[in-house]
Structure 1
Amino acid sequence: MPTLMGVLRRRVFAPSLESVGFAGRGFPVTPTAATARLEMVPQAVVCGFEWGIEAPPLWEIERRLAMVEPEQRGFGYEGATMAFTILDAMPLGRRDRTRELLLGPGHEHIFLAYIGIGFAMARLPRPLWKQVLPDLSESPYHPTMSWLAVDGYGFDRAYFDTRRWVDEQYQPAPYPWQGAPDYFRRAVDQGIGRALWFIHGAGAAGAAEAVNRFPEHRRADLWSGIGLAATFAGGCDRAGLSALRKSAGEHHAELALGSVFAIKARTYSSFVPRHSRLAVTVLTDLTVDAATELADRTVVGPAEGDAVPAYELWRQRIRAHFGTAQQRLAG
């Protein structure tokens, strides 16, 4: 049973399902069965958030999310992580909900859970950001993949403040995430790229046109975000994916990089839907197993990062694979 305080928090913080839908956001999306399926992603996040913001016991949030279909369950954990992060940041509250969630039932969804932390950052003042990332040293992907929280922040701002962050191409002030303030904006752009895939309803032409309106130096990170979203969330058929790959042009390696990261996240959660299998094949010329092996073979340990974050070093190694493949084809 939710408490009165939990119900009040849900009313204050939780958006409605309609408000996160494409029509509710005013996005130029033609309704189809595929876009309706894609629209379920932000709605699943809202459901997870509503359940989490009520501050239920950990076993209860796990049981609730177990009832969400496997394809959408990770998005539910995104929302629950967002809620727990906000609860942990509140004055006089507990500080361990997010840690317990991500070292417990949410561990296999840790890639998306980091994004949920970023969603919370979009709603918290910057002085509180230093408190949002729990110690997850038991996880092999912490803190390397915590940059996905910054990605999540960028996605949230582009999705909910599209005019400013997409149309006007606003860039936030740097922030010393993991001691690398110069990389902060790049990770934000990766999240904005993911948002473009949703804003344009998985339409290759619309997403490509949106990227091309940005300055050249921002496009590579935007394309990697699109590749991640197209593979993880889906939304179009083989023809649409082929058009997306063609539209990426010289940024194909970045598009493929995002696709490989998406497959790594999907395999880590033990469920790879059909659309993800199709997308990685079309966008990277790799099977799911080969894409996972590439991600595992190139993984970077936290100690390897110095001037460049370990997260970006990992991205560079994956990107180099596709650059080499392109050179072989050209030769």
Structure 2
Amino acid sequence: MPTTFGSLRRLALTPSLASVAFAGRGFPVTSTPATARLEAVPQAVVCGFEWGIDARDQWEVERRLGLVDPEHRGFAYEGVTMAFTVLDAMGRGRRTRDLLAGPGQPHIFLAYIGIGFAMARLPRPLWKKVLPELTGTPYHPTMSWLAVDGYGFDLAYFHTRRWVDEQCTPKPYPWQGAPEYFPRAVDQGIGRALWFIHGGSPKQVSSAVRKFGVQRQADLWSGVGLAATFAGGCTAEGLAGLRDEAGAYRAELAQGSVFASKARAYAGFVPAHCEDASTALTGLSVDAAAKLADDCAVDDRARDGSAHGAPPYELWRANVRMRFRDFGSALRPAPKPAAEAD
């Protein structure tokens, strides 16, 4: 049961389900069964946030999350992580660390995004407190850049005029010691948001991406590929059209799809739409795409050797992109160089 103070926090901080709906946000989306399923994603996040901000303990939250359909459970974990991050940053708790080291571990990729949602609601001086230390977690801290991705998604979804229509860019922040990379990770989140803002319509999403400066489009397309694969909302025919729309950015689209497949496989539940999207955007099954992600991973301490070297997260992304050089009639990743072959 929630505490009285918890209920007051929930009323003050939680967006309503209607306010995250596409119509409530004023997005140019035609209502269909497919867009309704896509719309359920932010609604699952809101439910998770409500449970997290209200909860007396982690046990209660875990039991509630266990009742969520497996397809949407990761999104609910996003919401709980967002709530716990806000509470921890404003106090001295360890809710986020306990969640991500425990039942949230299979959903670590989406949980990082939830941290980014919290960042959008916290003043920057508190950001130094949002990322828990997760010793023994294989994707920490490399994949913590997904928190910045989540921050970018939140900006675009809730402040669309400024961050999408006016294409503003955020002030750099030294996340993982790489302030110059911060705006790029934000753009990856904005690209994901475009998939939702336009209801998974390939032509509308493509048109929205092309309105941005050319230097930003690669990261935007990566975000589109991640959202299209992880969240779904598009037919097989539409996915083929999306690949065509990406044009010169097909490798970026494929890279985003590969990371989505890795996240789904790691969580232990792969919906049919994820398999369809992976096949259409990468030419690989989800299992094969997840293996490709593992093959391309880099050491957490890796840098390119320059004074402003790319963070390991970007090196990992670049390794995946490099595997997609041949875009013939059937999309297939390029084979490993001979020196790397098993």
The answer, yes or no, to whether TM exceeds 0.5 is yes
Give the one of 312, 316, 324 matched to 1:314. Answer: 316
Q: Within 2, Cα distance between the matches of 1:257 and 1:50?
A: 33
SS of residue paired to 1:322: coil
Matched letter for residue 127 of structure 2? W
Question: What number of residue pairs does the alignment pair up?
Answer: 328
Task: Structure 2: give runs of 5+ residues left out of the alignment.
Answer: 332-342
Structure 1 residue aligned with 2:39: 39
Cα deviation for residue 137 of structure 1 reads: 2.1
SS of residue paired to 2:195: helix
Cα deviation for residue 327 of structure 1 reads: 8.1
Q: Within 1, Cα distance between the matches of 2:330 and 2:228?
A: 24
Aligned 8 A contact 1:55 1:84 in 2 = no
Matched letter for residue 138 of structure 1? G
Give the one of 134, 153, 156 matched to 2:154. Answer: 156
Cα deviation for residue 305 of structure 1 reads: 2.8
Flag the 1:42–1:28 CA change in 2: closer, same or farther, 3 A.
Answer: same
Q: Within 1, Cα distance between the matches of 2:280 and 2:68?
A: 28
Give the one of 269, 272, 275 matched to 2:270. Answer: 272
Q: Within 2, Cα distance between the matches of 1:64 and 1:328?
A: 46
SS of residue paired to 1:304: coil
Q: Give matches, 1:1-331, under 5 Å.
A: 1-90=1-90, 93-305=91-303, 307-323=309-325, 325-326=326-327
Matched letter for residue 282 of structure 1? A
Q: Within 2, Cα distance between the matches of 1:138 and 1:37?
A: 35
Flag the 1:287–1:329 CA change in 2: closer, same or farther, 3 A.
Answer: closer
Q: Within 1, Cα distance between the matches of 2:300 and 2:171?
A: 25
Q: Within 2, Cα distance between the matches of 1:96 and 1:254?
A: 36
Q: Within 2, Cα distance between the matches of 1:188 and 1:117?
A: 13
Q: Within 1, Cα distance between the matches of 2:269 and 2:36?
A: 21
Cα deviation for residue 293 of structure 1 reads: 1.1
Aligned 8 A contact 2:236 2:277 in 1 = yes
Cα deviation for residue 288 of structure 1 reads: 1.5
Cα deviation for residue 329 of structure 1 reads: 8.0
Aligned 8 A contact 2:194 2:224 in 1 = yes
Task: Structure 1: give runs of 5+ residues left out of the alignment.
Answer: none
Matched letter for residue 314 of structure 2? E
Q: Within 2, Cα distance between the matches of 1:114 and 1:289?
A: 22
- TM-score, normalisation: structure 2: 0.94
Cα deviation for residue 328 of structure 1 reads: 11
Q: Aligned-pair RMSD on alpha carbons? A: 1.4
Aligned 8 A contact 1:48 1:76 in 2 = yes
Q: Within 1, Cα distance between the matches of 2:93 and 2:227?
A: 31
SS of residue paired to 1:15: coil
Q: Within 1, Cα distance between the matches of 2:303 and 2:130?
A: 22
Q: Within 1, Cα distance between the matches of 2:98 and 2:299?
A: 23
Q: Within 1, Cα distance between the matches of 2:43 and 2:226?
A: 19
The percent of aligned pairs where both chains have the same amino acid is: 68
Question: What do residues 143-170 of structure 1 show as CA deviations (whole Å, max 9, x unaligned)?
Answer: 0000000000000000000000000000
Matched letter for residue 27 of structure 1? F
Matched letter for residue 317 of structure 1? N
Aligned 8 A contact 2:187 2:216 in 1 = yes
SS of residue paired to 2:317: helix
Q: Within 2, Cα distance between the matches of 1:262 and 1:288?
A: 9
SS of residue paired to 1:272: coil
Q: Within 1, Cα distance between the matches of 2:254 and 2:150?
A: 19
Q: Within 1, Cα distance between the matches of 2:188 and 2:152?
A: 7
Cα deviation for residue 117 of structure 1 reads: 0.1
SS of residue paired to 2:301: helix
SS of residue paired to 1:156: helix
SS of residue paired to 2:199: coil
